[in-house]
Amino acid sequence: MLLPELFALLSSDLFLLLSLLTCLLEERFPKAIPYVYQVAALMGFGHLLVSKMFLTVFDEDLRFWYNFFYLAVGLANVVAVNLYLAVSKKTWVLAKVWSASVTFPTVFISIFFVYNYGYLQGATFPLLTVDLILILSVAILGIAVAVLLSPKLLRRR
Amino acid sequence: MINLKIINNIKLKKSSKFLILLLASMLIAAANAFVFYSLSMVSTITTATTGVWFVKGLDNVTAGVSLSPDNTSAVLTGLLAYPNASFTYTDPLRVRNNGSILHQIRLSPVTLSGNDTEFVYVKFLLRNGTSETSETLVSLEYNCSGSDWTVPSATGWVQIPASTEYAITVVTKARDSAASASVTIEIAVDVQ
């Protein structure tokens, strides 16, 4: 059985990942950003502590929502950094690499866990959501196959 | 903003910064994992209904049987012991396994109080069924020497299949020319 605190754990690790990556790419980000992400990861630790302290007081719905919100914030930061690299810094290659190596894996792993949690809790998801995810997966697979067959597509014009 | 300026003014090599952040990250990740692990170890205990309980037998009126609302305890107030005569209540009370799995049960003594000179014995027999011919599986026998009771030890475990009732038979006997007296015996039916 999955605990809703798994989302906080996942999101906290996402913030740590962002902290290390922004440190490695420090010339492209404000210098305080890695430390801000460390503090954000510490907030995840606080989430887990609160859940542990008030396990018998908070019901599972409440625990799910505040942990899920924290995960959503973490994912939003991953996407925001991706957009920052692409739009503000105009480092397209880096943005694409970030997108493939950080954004998509983290988003899909998070969706997997959220769906798995929902399934175990007996929640039913709208069919449209499942369809959209399937379409997105097929689209990504198509792009990956196209790039594999023709690597020139990745070259900057 | 002051803190951010301080961070900006600190001149550290990139490798040193990364090392510091990496160590801090490992610490936070380990602490998170520890708390999450301890969280997943917390047990949740929910209430459950008992699968084994008492039901009244055919002789329940004679024996004065009354059951608690959830049928997990029974009081027999109409039991009599006759002087120099063994008297048997064949089917005053039954133990029913209402669950879907086999259980093991036994009779064990809890308390005894009251007169200790006017009785010969009080026996509780757990029988393999509810008919008069059902064999006795185990018995809990309280014997009185005329000056003191001998309290028995708990019986061995016996199996009671699902959806089955076993009768508890009570046998009493008082001393010859016994005076008016009473004894209260509490026994337990242990279930596992």
Residue B6 pLDDT > 60 = no
Answer yes or no: is B47 within a domain.
Answer: no
- Domain of B18 in residue numbering reads as 2-40
pLDDT band at A14 (very low <50, low <70, confident <90, very high): very high
What is the rounded CA–CA span in Å between residue A49 and residue B36?
9
Would you say residue A148 lies in a domain? no
Domain total for chain A?
Answer: 1
Q: What ipTM was predicted for this assembly? A: 0.78
Q: CA A17 to CA A33: how far, in whole Å?
A: 12
The answer, for B24 touching chain A at a CB cutoff of 8 Å, is yes
The answer to whether residue A98 sits within a structural domain is: yes
pLDDT at A130: 66
Distance separating alpha carbons of residues B17 and A35, to the nearest angstrom = 10
pLDDT of residue A94: 87
Considering the domain architecture, whether residues B57 and B112 belong to the same structural domain is answered as yes
Q: Is the CB of B25 less than 8 angstroms away from the CB of A16?
A: yes
| B1 pLDDT higher than 70 | no
Residue A132 has pLDDT above 80, yes or no: no
- Compute the distance between CA of residue B30 and CA of residue B180 in angstroms, rounded to an integer: 75
Q: Do A26 and B24 touch (CB under 8 A)?
A: no
- A45 vs B17, B31, B40: nearest CB: B31
Residue with tokens 């510490």: A42
Q: Tell me, what CATH number does B156's domain have?
A: 2.60.120
In a domain, B46, yes or no: no
What was the pLDDT predicted at B43? Answer: 63
Whole-number pLDDT of residue B116: 74
pLDDT at position B38, please? 86
Q: Provide the phi-psi class of A90: left if phi over 0, else alpha when psi is between -120 and 50, else beta.
A: left
pLDDT in tens, B84-100: 899 999 999 999 988 88
B126 and B162 in a single domain? The answer is yes
Q: Do B32 and B57 share a domain, yes or no?
A: no
With bands split at pLDDT 50, 70 and 90, how would you rate the model's confidence at A114?
confident
Q: Is residue A142 part of a domain?
A: no
User: Do both B133 and B97 map to the same domain?
Assistant: yes
Is residue B181, in this structure, part of any structural domain at all?
yes
The whole-number average pLDDT for the span A6-19 is 94
Write down the residue that tokens 């008919």 correspond to: B131
What's the domain count of chain B?
Answer: 2
For A45, the closest of B7, B18, B35 (CB atoms) is B35
- State the average pLDDT over residues B118-126: 91
The whole-angstrom separation of Cα A44 and Cα A38 is: 10
For testing contact with chain A, the best of B6, B12, B21 (most A CBs within 10 A): B21
A12/B17 touch (CB, cutoff 8 Å), yes or no: no
Residues B121 and B30 in one domain: no
User: Residue A92: pLDDT above 60?
Assistant: yes
Rounded Cα gap, residues A41 and B29, in angstroms: 9
Band of pLDDT at residue A143, cut at 50, 70 and 90: confident
Most confident of A25-34, A55-64, A135-144: A25-34
Kindly state whether residue B132 falls inside one of the protein's structural domains: yes
Q: Which domain holds residue A48?
A: 5-125
Number of neighbours of residue B8 by Cβ within 10 angstroms? 11
Rounded distance, CA A129 to CA A107, Å? 15
pLDDT digits (tens, 9 = 90+) for B45-61: 677 777 888 999 998 89
Q: Cβ A45–B36 below 8 Å, yes or no? A: no
Q: What percent of chain A has pLDDT over 70?
A: 90
CB pair distance less than 8 Å for A6 and B36: yes
Residue B33: burial class (beta carbons within 10 Å; 0-12, 13-18, 19+): middle
* Smallest Cα distance from A140 to chain B, Å: 31
Contacts of A16 in chain B (CB under 8 A): 25, 28-29
Burial group, residue B68, by CB count within 10 angstroms (0-12, 13-18, 19+): exposed
Rounded to a whole number, what is the distance in Å from the CA of B20 to chain A's nearest CA? 10
